[in-house]
Structure 1
Amino acid sequence: VDVQSYLTGESLARLAQKVLPGFWQGINNVFGWLLGLAGAITTLIYLVFMLIDQEDVSAHWRNMVPEKYRDLVAGLATDLGEAMEVHFRGQMKIALILSVIYTIGFWLVGLPLSVVLGLLAGMLSLIPYFALLSVPPVLLCALLAALSNGGSFWPPVIGALAVYAVAQTIEGLVLVPRIQGKSAGLRPEYVLLALSVWGALLGVVGMIIALPLTSVLISWYRRFILGQAEERPTGPAPAETGRPSPGGTGAA
């Protein structure tokens, strides 16, 4: 058997044209299952944050805290819960916008399954910079597309990498500072600083918790430092001494 003749470009192209239709269907099914799983996990997380019975949970853990610390712990837990909820909502908006950007970009460079790949990359963006985990399947689709069309491998690969570069730039310089910064009450430069500092300290985990943790720390600073300073001139004493005076003046 002449193996050399079967390894020519024309033979490989003919083989790819015969095999790839079924292979595309298999990839589509796998990606559809992964997207369904990601959607289920996302929905579950959303339900945990939005639909949980906060009164029952609060009543349960409040009884476990010593009475003199209950108000303090309740305030801290409320700040943390609100920060995480706001962060998750903002991250969902970013993921949806990036899904559209990736889908349009992959379609423009001629990749098959552009919608599936765009949704995969966008949903992975729920965790900062995890969209890069979708690079291997995107490159595989670019290779298979080049084989099926009988063209060069490099144009779709370079185009796909350019889509990632543009999307990551938009995410880092526009979406995260604007959406997450506005939601967390942080200026864009503080958002980038928080991501850099917490990412350097704790790695990927630091980038995930950077914005909600920074927002909580600022909230606690305002509550326990600025809040105490503001309460001093407006304590309860003036209000109590002022209550009987209207009655006295009215009687006079």
Structure 2
Amino acid sequence: MTLRRQVQFWLISLVVLCLFLYVFSSVLLPFVAGMAVAYLLDPVCDRLEKLGMGRMWATLTILFAFVLILVMFFILLLPLLGNQLALFLEKFPELIRKLQALLSDNFPADLASVAGINAEDLQSSMSNFIGQGASFVGKLAQSLWSGGQALLSILSLFVITPVVAFYLLLDWDRMVARIDSWLPRDHLAEIRGLAKEMDQAVAGFVRGQVSVCLILGSFYAVSLALIGLNFGLLIGMVAGLVSFIPFVGAGLGLVLSIGVALVQFWPEWPWIIAVAAIFGVGQFLEGNILQPKLVGESTGLHPVTLMFALFAFGYLFGFVGMLIAVPAAAMIGVLARFALKQYLASPVYQGTDHPVSGQEEQVSE
């Protein structure tokens, strides 16, 4: 097969895959979730197999423990979070009105006059800005709540997802071997190398980032609840779980927490400073301990690239797109680095009359 035919074949395959995801995105969620669970738990299953347990019993043991933890979460924690979310959405307009009044009454007019701005105009602009931001956050929260209800539906969570995860986990090694047998024989070594690099990138990020999100969510939630912040448990968990998007989780949690703290604690500044300090400590832990130790540079993706992938895949394929955004971006990154390496070694880059010197090759790498 010529190079042109190969490129056409893989481009057509990519288009078919994208169309498949687009058409069936509304029903793929439990299957994608089951695949993610199987992928995350496969190393544990392999470890149990090495200890002498059969694949069937290892799969049943792991999934039973996973579902048990999930059920305990739903029984113990989810009702509390759901009540806090419902109350937060109910009280949100009142919180915004109190925050606007607080800023209007306490904003230093002298500072506005020094800056050459009319204090009333500035306060009005601030109120409008807060109102627009509140409207956006309210719509986003309601959207996430309705999406979360769909995500946590009994059918997809307790029936389809565990069944899909069970069969995939049971047959994981056989499926990998079967796919390996379909690979083009002429490029077997290269494809295996790329697949191994992709697996390391995806596994390192997903397993590490899940740990980071859970640790940060627990830290924020417990810390905010201990200082008595209203909705602290909910805000902390949301901030931790959204922290897989660089700076977004902590930023969202800080803004919401400071807004609630101003309404609740004003004028007691120590409590407001304590709320800000919690997120400062969380960012220090994430940037200096959790991310380097648990995630590292596994994906090789710049934070801006990661955020673009999340927004792009989310826009194209909805919530399912956001689930597959990071793995897909990591795989695309591996392929892009491979393509760049091939380009730098090709006559297109080097030319026929001016071969690349050793120093230039080293700089390129």
Aligned residue for 2:244, secondary structure, equals coil
Of 136, 151, 156 in structure 1, the residue corresponding to residue 255 of structure 2 is 136
Query: 1:223-242 maps to which residues of 2 (within 5 A)?
Result: none
Unaligned runs of 5+ in 2: 1-82, 91-140, 310-325, 339-365
What is aligned with 2:188? 70
Amino acid at match of 2:244: L
Query: 1:20-169 maps to which residues of 2 (within 5 A)?
Result: 25-27=86-88, 33=145, 36=148, 56=175, 59=178, 63=182, 66-131=184-249, 132-146=251-265, 151-152=266-267, 154-169=269-284
Taking structure 2 as the reference length, the TM-score comes to: 0.37
Q: Partners of 1:126 and 1:76 in 2: how far apart?
A: 25
Shift of 1:80: 0.3
Q: Partners of 1:116 and 1:155 in 2: how far apart?
A: 22
Query: 1:142-221 maps to which residues of 2 (within 5 A)?
Result: 142-146=261-265, 151-152=266-267, 154-181=269-296, 198-199=302-303, 202=305, 204-205=307-308
Shift of 1:129: 2.0
Q: Partners of 1:172 and 1:39 in 2: how far apart?
A: 30
Shift of 1:87: 1.6
Aligned residue for 1:145, secondary structure, equals helix
Aligned residue for 1:112, secondary structure, equals coil
Aligned residue for 1:125, secondary structure, equals helix
Structure 1 residues 180 and 203: CA distance shift in structure 2, 3 A: closer
Q: Partners of 1:75 and 1:57 in 2: how far apart?
A: 14
The answer on whether the counterparts of 1:100 and 1:118 sit within 8 Å (CA) in structure 2 is yes
Amino acid at match of 2:274: G
Q: Partners of 1:154 and 1:39 in 2: how far apart?
A: 39
Structure 1 residues 124 and 27: CA distance shift in structure 2, 3 A: same
Q: Partners of 2:283 and 2:222 in 1: how far apart?
A: 14
The alignment's C-alpha RMSD in Å is: 4.8
Q: Partners of 1:142 and 1:180 in 2: how far apart?
A: 32
Structure 1 residues 104 and 53: CA distance shift in structure 2, 3 A: same
Q: Partners of 2:294 and 2:207 in 1: how far apart?
A: 10
Shift of 1:35: 9.5
Structure 1 residues 34 and 153: CA distance shift in structure 2, 3 A: farther
Q: Partners of 2:212 and 2:259 in 1: how far apart?
A: 26
Structure 1 residues 23 and 59: CA distance shift in structure 2, 3 A: closer
Shift of 1:52: 10
Structure 1 residues 98 and 180: CA distance shift in structure 2, 3 A: same
Shift of 1:79: 2.4
Q: Which deviations, in whole Å up to 9, do the C-alpha atoms of 1:191-228 show, x marking residues without a partner?
A: 9xx78xx347x47459x78xx68x969xx9xxxxxxxx
Amino acid at match of 1:133: L
Amino acid at match of 1:170: L
The answer on whether the counterparts of 2:84 and 2:231 sit within 8 Å (CA) in structure 1 is no
Q: Which deviations, in whole Å up to 9, do the C-alpha atoms of 1:150-179 show, x marking residues without a partner?
A: x42744432221111110011101111122
What is aligned with 1:16? none
Amino acid at match of 1:33: W
Q: Which deviations, in whole Å up to 9, do the C-alpha atoms of 1:179-198 show, x marking residues without a partner?
A: 224x95xxxxxx9xx78xx3
Taking structure 1 as the reference length, the TM-score comes to: 0.51
Deviant stretches of 4+, over 6 Å? none
Shift of 1:91: 0.8
Aligned residue for 1:138, secondary structure, equals helix
Structure 1 residues 74 and 105: CA distance shift in structure 2, 3 A: same
Unaligned runs of 5+ in 1: 1-21, 185-190, 221-252
Shift of 1:39: 7.4
Which deviates more from structure 2 when the two are superposed, residues 154-163 or residues 167-176?
154-163
Aligned residues: 177
Rg bigger for which structure?
A: 1
